[in-house]
Amino acid sequence: MELKPYLADRKYLVESALDRLLPAADREPRALTGAMRYSLLIGGKRLRPILTLACCEAVGGALERAMNFACAMECVHTYSLIHDDLPAMDNDDLRRGHPTCHRQYGEATAILAGDALLTHAFELAAKPVTGVLPEARLELIGELAMAAGTYGMVGGQMLDIQGEKRPLELVQLQNIHIHKTGALIRVACLAGARLGGGTPDQVKHLKRYGEALGLAFQITDDILDEVGDTKTLGKATGVDRALDKATYPKLMGLAQAREAAENLMQEATRCLTEFGPQADPLRALAQYVIARTH
Q: What local confidence, expressed as pLDDT, does residue 114 receive?
A: 98
Q: What local confidence, expressed as pLDDT, does residue 275 receive?
A: 98
Using DSSP, state whether 99 is helix, strand or coil: strand
Q: What local confidence, expressed as pLDDT, does residue 66 receive?
A: 97
Q: What local confidence, expressed as pLDDT, does residue 80 receive?
A: 97
Q: What local confidence, expressed as pLDDT, does residue 242 receive?
A: 74
CA distance 151 to 143: 10
What's the CATH number where 173 sits?
1.10.600.10
Residue 193 has a CB neighbour count (10 Å cut-off) of 28
Q: What local confidence, expressed as pLDDT, does residue 151 receive?
A: 96
Q: What local confidence, expressed as pLDDT, does residue 239 receive?
A: 73
Q: Name the residue range of residue 149's domain.
A: 3-291
Our count of domains for the chain comes to: 1
Which residues make beta-bridge pairs with 94?
99
DSSP codes joined into one string, 129-188: -TTS-HHHHHHHHHHHHHHHSTTTHHHHHHHHHHTTTS---HHHHHHHHIIIIIHHHHHH
Q: What is the 3-state secondary structure (H, E, C) of the chain?
A: CCHHHHHHHHHHHHHHHHHHHCCCCCCCCHHHHHHHHHHHHCCCCCHHHHHHHHHHHHCCCCCHHHHHHHHHHHHHHHHHHHHHCCCCCCCCCEECCEECHHHHHCHHHHHHHHHHHHHHHHHHHCCCCCCCCHHHHHHHHHHHHHHHCCCCHHHHHHHHHHCCCCCCCHHHHHHHHHHHHHHHHHHHHHHHHHHCCCCHHHHHHHHHHHHHHHHHHHHHHHHHHHHCCHHHHCCCCCHHHHCCCCCHHHHHCHHHHHHHHHHHHHHHHHCCCCCCHHHHHHHHHHHHHHHCCC
Query: pLDDT tens digit string along 171-207?
Result: 999 999 999 999 999 999 999 999 999 999 999 999 9
Helix axes 107-125 and 64-84, enclosed angle (nearest 10): 160
Q: What local confidence, expressed as pLDDT, does residue 281 receive?
A: 98
- For residue 72, what are the CA distances in angstroms to 22, 32, 46, 126, 191? 10, 18, 11, 10, 11
pLDDT beneath 70: ranges in the chain:
232-233, 235
